[in-house]
Structure 1
């Protein structure tokens, strides 16, 4: 049926409510005396149930007879859109194909019957198999119902969150339970994933539309999850049961439930936006994010409308990169001790004829990268590049871009590189990531580093074997450039901010780049010349989390508990309380929390309760 008729499912009337209330009362009485076999409440319940069923059948029949008598052309057209119906007459399946048969079937029962499958036997007889409609169906951990509503899954979520909160409570006794920060960690790593699983499918973010006092989204399930988190926060702090939930969340640094789900939804949207074109969801995701429809919104529409993420601007994470046994065309060196690493950096800078020092910086709200070329200890050239605002890019990305700038400087030289060619970086994370070929955020920049290093080897190979290459080309022989073992290319970790002059120079240029300055386009690597880099997933996650924290603080300032608590701790909501009680035992930390919240087992508070 493409569109329901205006009278569909309107056979319920106030008269039926009069049957419903006595039947509910009789049901309660029957349950109360369930141990007495011949109690009159059972007979009364059966009588009322039978009377109510008969009345429903009567009202439903009257309604559909009236509908058929007063039907107009538009309703006939709508009824004609109903597909063929399979009904039962005296237990025998019958197909309804004409409009009259369809209307009669709908008048008897507007809910479609169970599916009936038939199979012909070799002897000519027919075997019928009726497949009854399941009330709920669990698929990949999500509970569906025949009408694709989430009420059944909401019940599962609430039950799961309640169960896990009670499990956490078993380890949180005041007399000798786990410390507060460990209880919070357990709740975040075990309970939260349990009740936020697949939230991007069944949960719609709670919002306050402008000009409306009514909130929209999954408000009902959010309200039912608030007591669960309040119980968890009470367990973390060891506070009394009379303590308000907002002050507990502020002390434990647990995001309110609606903001927590916003964080989960934004993470899911960023993950979907980073899917490569080879993924089946790539096109549906971009189509859903392109515009917001007014009706029949899918979970993807709600997800991207809430988070505001544009998939065309997000970096793509490919499922495969290089082969698992790929060996980089350079060696990496990280000394465990900072003093030893500094001494090694000075030695390499002194003995290496050619060296490059790279850096990335987040400064004045921007992110920039730089590379400085030194020949025999003298600065010869430098490059800088402005990645963008810190809300879209990370310093980690800038460190990787700095390496590509350094390799580009080395490739731009027209002389042969002898002895050691060293590249210095003050980011251990970047150097370690060069050996990781698994997909992860910013891996496309690491691929540019490997490509640039191989390109450097190719150019040096052509310089070193120029005569052999020309001779092979003249003879018509094939020539393969070497991408490894042409020069001794090394990447070293050089500690930052320890008065190491080359690093300080690279840091100075990186800060200039962070403020918006870049080298001329033609002097940059090709992938940095035209389009800006795609938005970093970790950067937008951190920016979104900062926005949620600001929203939470504004909400906390409107709380009636704010004035009294603010005089004690002006940093709330924050991790300060957990850090304060980290060295205390469970009983002592609970006492501190009770005194800070004003709900403690002292006479003043106990008198107020009673």
Structure 2
């Protein structure tokens, strides 16, 4: 076996990291850090080796001139680094308003050839999405509808009314292979059947009913219908109907609505709206410093009994603006990202930031922390509490979460702390109507651990054992990969690491205990959690914690 001196193995996870480091100087040529004034107005988007240069201004000729200069810089960098741009894989498109379509240049002359602009009724494909000059995405919908119908034709050989796969399997095949084509990148091209446009502010003072001159408040937001989206939904419903007729034993004359009900496949406009909701949740869960996240305003949860006070994310203006005047900075604007943000519920849980002060990493690799994993749960003794002899001079913490099943969906967290078999503390907390059981378990884990650490310092205990009957919570704590209650796990990780840094001879372990198996500590924690949820029934609507977790938002959507 010989050592390789050039390159890295194919499929290595190091490959994308090294490529990002290699291509970083190319990105520094454009944007705010560029030396040239014109290049500061250019933005470069890259996906592996696919590059996209774009610029915006009030003049098509100005755009062409700046793009020519930008391409010259990119071409120069590529030559210096032993690369070249394929002359046959270049596309040039001008996004212009319908009333100014006559101002388009039609082509751009580069140092290695001339590139004709995409025609008005045509489109170009980038990362699987077909863009047209008006951003109507009509060609994209036409192409994916035709592709879905063609794929549905291949299902004929797999099933019919006499033989073939089961109906449940054919439905899974349709969702995985056909509907996924119809919903690909829906957040880019689907805007919903209706959209909300922000009200425009007034600039001139007007005389009010009291006779005084003042600037009126901004107009109310206006709901408008998207006629193009209705046309898109009709075409996509036709493609879905053609596929469902082949996937299910139905007559050709079966109506769309009846077949959708029998197949449990909603109309495409509802499916696409759900895709928008999922995209909005992904944006809300991004790091607040993410460039996409900074482009939207999201009202996160305020100070509550669960979390410390958090700041509201304020939107930054788009990186390229047509109007640089002072009035344009404060003018409300509507983009596809801001429209996505409006789909989020108010007071959604704040996302954690890897750049905030005192941010903690994963506890799974900490030398003084032991967290049971999936391999431990497969052992014969898994899910049982440690013997008292093994837990000498230690503090045991049992945590649990509960959700009322009376329709109110009020959740609660509970924890019980033991030392040498004696109960030191038992308490509970209501976590509101917008938290799932997973979130309540996470709150219980954080609150119980915080109180256990405080008692361990007071009683000079060296070992802390925390029990939870939810494996998903422990797995999220181990890998910091949770998609809900991210701030809870961040606070817990930071608390544990600070405690262990000051007490190097102490140990903390998080273990799984099987629920409802007669373990006294777990049963006591379950009673406290139910009490916390029941306490919420006696609180007024305005007194309940208002934070909406990511898991609850996904369920509501």
Give me the TM-score of the superposition, normalised by structure 1. 0.56
**153 and 331 in structure 1: CA distance in 2 versus 1, 3 angstrom threshold:** same
The correspondence for 1:299, drawn from 321, 336, 340, is 336
Indicate the residue corresponding to 2:265 in structure 1: 254
CA-CA distance at 1:492 after TM superposition? 2.1
2:494 counterpart (436, 446, 451)? 451
SS of the aligned residue for 1:445 comes to: helix
**What's the offset of the Cα at 1:510?**
0.7
Aligned match of 2:517 in 498, 513, 517? 498
- Point out which structure has higher relative CO (alpha carbons under 8 A, 6+ apart): 1
1: CA distance, partners of 2:283 / 2:449 = 33
Aligned to 2:425: 381
Check the 8 A contact 1:422/1:489 in 2, yes or no: yes
Summarize the alignment of residues 533-548 of structure 1 with structure 2, pairs less than 5 Å apart.
Answer: 534-544=547-557
Q: Is the 8 A contact 2:536 2:544 kept in 1?
A: no
- State the 1:208 CA deviation: 11
Is residue 465 of structure 2 the alignment partner of residue 422 of structure 1?
yes
- The match for 1:347 among 381, 384, 387 is 387
Cross-structure match for 1:18: none
**Count of matched residue positions in the alignment of Structure 1 and Structure 2:** 392
* Other-structure match for 2:365: 326
Matched, 1:409 2:420: no
Residue 285 of structure 1 corresponds to which residue in structure 2?
A: 296
Alpha-carbon distance change, 295 to 448 in structure 1, aligned in 2, over 3 angstroms: closer
What residue in structure 2 maps to residue 396 of structure 1?
A: 438
Computed over aligned residues only, the root mean square deviation of the Cα atoms, in angstroms, reads 4.1
CA radius of gyration, larger in: 1
Task: Tell me the CA shift for residue 440 of structure 1.
Answer: 3.9
Question: Whole-Å Cα distance in 2 between the matches of residues 208 and 349 of structure 1?
Answer: 64
Q: Scaled by the length of structure 2, what TM-score is found?
A: 0.61
Aligned mates of 2:392, 2:554 — CA distance in 1: 41
CA distance in 2, matches of 1:264, 1:542: 13
SS at 2:160 equivalent:
coil
Higher helix residue share: 1
1:441 aligned onto 2:467: no
Q: Aligned-pair distance for 1:411?
A: 1.7
CA drift at 1:82: 8.9
CA contact (8 A) 2:431 2:544 kept: no
Structure 1 position 267 matched with structure 2 position 304: no
**Shift in CA distance, 352/228, structure 1 to aligned 2, threshold 3 Å:** farther
Q: Deviations over 1:470-514 (max 9, x none)?
A: xxxxxxxxxxxx2xxx23433221111223222111111111222
Q: Does 1:313 align with 2:348?
A: yes
Instruction: Spell out, residue by residue over 1:518-551, the C-alpha distance to the aligned partner (whole angstroms, 9 max, x if none).
Output: 9xxxxxxxxxxx996853222111112xxxxxxx
Given that 2:141 and 2:236 are in contact with CA atoms closer than 8 Å, whether structure 1 keeps it comes out as no
Give distance in 1, aligned partners of 2:255 and 2:549: 38
| Separation in 1, partners of 2:498, 2:144 | 54
- Stretches of structure 2 lacking an aligned partner (at least 5 in a row): 1-56, 63-99, 197-222, 300-312, 316-329, 538-542
- Residues 1:352 and 1:398: Cα distance change in structure 2 (over 3 Å): farther
Judging changes above 3 Å, is the alpha-carbon distance between structure 1 residues 180 and 130 closer, same or farther for their aligned structure 2 residues?
Answer: closer
The answer (yes or no) to whether the contact 2:436–2:551 under 8 Å persists in 1 is yes
- How many Å separate the matches in 1 of 2:224 and 2:101? 37
Match of 2:306 in 1: none
Q: Which residue of 2 aligns with 1:177?
A: 164
How far did 1:350 drift?
8.4
Counterpart contact for 1:315–1:535, Cα < 8 Å = no
- Shift, 1:223, TM fit: 1.1
Distance change in 2, residues 1:287/1:147 (3 Å):
farther
CA distance in structure 1 between the aligned counterparts of 2:262 and 2:224, rounded to whole angstroms = 29
CA positional deviation for 1:436: 1.1
- Relative to structure 1, is the Cα distance of residues 298 and 455 closer, same or farther in structure 2, using a 3 angstrom cutoff? closer
Contact 1:314/1:534 (<8 A) preserved: yes
Deviation at 1:355, TM superposition (A): 1.2
How many Å apart are 1:217 and its aligned residue?
Answer: 6.0
